[in-house]
Homo-oligomer: A and B are copies of this chain.
C-alpha cells in the first residue's frame, strides 16, 4: 500500500476522492493567468482530495498525513492566481469548501469557518445592516480563509487598506501540522504568522473579522477621453473625505470597451473608464464632484438603470481588480498582467511615466486604495505578452522607476513579493509544521536554509522581526 492508500483508508468516514481527473481539477487555481506559471505548473496534481466538514475531521486528516509523511495543501475555492493552492509535491488536497458555517454575527464582528464564501457572509451580515470591510473581486466564489491565506485586498481597500493592516483581521484559529495538532487562536502581532502564508504555517479553520456598515452600493462608470484625466479624477475622488466610495478603478482605453462586453454599448472604444461603487446617499455629492470635471462623462449608473438592465450586467466589482484581467483573458488569451505599487505621493506622476513609456503594450488599470494612511494606487496593468524576457524587462523598468512589482508570475511567497519571511516566521513554521508537509515548495526560506531574507525588496506583508 502506498502512503496515499493508507491515508485514504484511515480517513474513511470523511469525504475523499481519488479519481485523477477530479483531483487534478481541484489541484488547479487561476495560475494560468500567467504564461510563466502555466508553463511551470500545468502538470501539477495532488493524489487525493479530502473534503472535511468539521474541524475535528481536519484534525484527523492532519494526524494521519503527519504520521504517513503525506503533504497537505489547503484549498479554499481555488481562485488564487499565483498557483498558491497547487500541490507541488502531490499528496492531499484539503478542500475546505464544506467547512463553511457562519458562526456568529455581532455589531462590528463576524466569526465564520474558513470555507465560508465571502458573499454568503455578507448575506448573513446584511440582516444587521453590516458587511465585510473589503473583499476580492472573487467575492461570489472565494472563501474567507483563502482570502486571508492567499489574498491581499480589493474592493473596500479604498477605505480600509489591505489585509496586512492591523485591525482588518481580529483573530484566526489555526490547526498545526503535528502528531497531535494544536489549536491556536492567533491575535495581535501573531496574526501575521499565518496571513498571506499560503497555508504553509497551519490550517486556518476559523476567522474573526470586523464588519462595517452595509449599503446598496451604486455602480457607476465614468468615461474620459484620456487615461490621465481618469487617473486625476480617481485620485481626487479618493481624497474626498466625505464622499463614501467603495471602489475607484480607472482603466485605460481600449480595455473597457473591448473587455466589458455587457457594458460595451455605453463605452466608446477610445474612452478610458473609471469603475466606481458609491454609497447611494452620496450620489448627489458624486454628481456634484463629477460636474467639476469637464471631461468626465457619466456613462452608467446602476441606480438609474431598470431592474432588468441591472441584472443583465455583472456588478461593478466584477469589472475590477483581477476581474478586469479575467475579462481580458476571455477576449484575448494572449495577454497577461502585472501588479504594481505606485507609491504616494508621486503615484499620478509615476502612472503618467509608465503610460508614456509603454503605451498600448501595457495599458493601464489602477485600483485606488488607502495605503499607510494615504490614498495611492496599485496597478494591475494588462501586458500584451510577447516573451518572458520582455515581461521581465517591463518588470525591471517599473522597479527602476520606483514602482515596485508584486510579481504574479511567481508561485513562492518571497518571489511574489507580497510576503516577507524572516527568522520569526521560520521559527513559527518549524513549530507549526516541523516536517514541512504544508503546501511544500512555496516558502523559499524553508526550502533553502541559505536563503537571504534580509534583502531590501518591498514587501506588502512585512517580516515579523521588524515589528
Question: What residues of chain A have their CB less than 8 Å away from a CB belonging to chain B?
Answer: 106-109, 128-130, 133, 159-162, 165-168, 170-171, 187-189, 210, 212-213, 215-216, 238-244, 279-282, 284-285, 287-289, 291-292, 345, 370-375, 467
The docked-state distance in angstroms from the alpha carbon of A159 to that of B159 is 9
**Which residues of chain B are near A165, meaning CB under 8 Å?**
240-243
The docked-state distance in angstroms from the alpha carbon of A287 to that of B241 is 27
Find the residue from A108, A242, A289, A291 having the highest chain B CB count within 10 A.
A242
A288 and B166 in contact, given A129-B129, A373-B238, A373-B375 (Cβ under 8 angstroms): yes
Contact of A240 among B167, B244, B374 (CB under 8 A): B167
Asked if A285 and B170 make an inter-chain contact with CB atoms under 8 angstroms apart, the answer reads: yes
**Which residues of chain B are near A291, meaning CB under 8 Å?**
188
5 shortest interchain CB distances as A-B pairs:
A239-B373, A161-B241, A167-B242, A165-B242, A188-B288
**Which residues of chain B are near A108, meaning CB under 8 Å?**
213, 215, 279-281
Asked if B373 and A281 make an inter-chain contact with CB atoms under 8 angstroms apart, the answer reads: no
Copies per assembly: 2
**Which residues of chain B are near A128, meaning CB under 8 Å?**
129
Could you name 17 residue pairs across A and B whose Cβ atoms are closer than 8 Å? A107-B215, A107-B216, A108-B281, A129-B130, A165-B242, A166-B288, A167-B240, A167-B241, A167-B242, A167-B243, A167-B285, A168-B241, A187-B288, A188-B285, A189-B288, A212-B213, A374-B374
Contact of A210 among B189, B239, B281, B288 (CB under 8 A): B281
- A258: min CB distance to chain B, Å: 32
Contact of A130 among B109, B213, B374, B375 (CB under 8 A): B213
Please give me the residue from chain B that is nearest to A240 by CB atom. B166
The docked-state distance in angstroms from the alpha carbon of A302 to that of B286 is 38
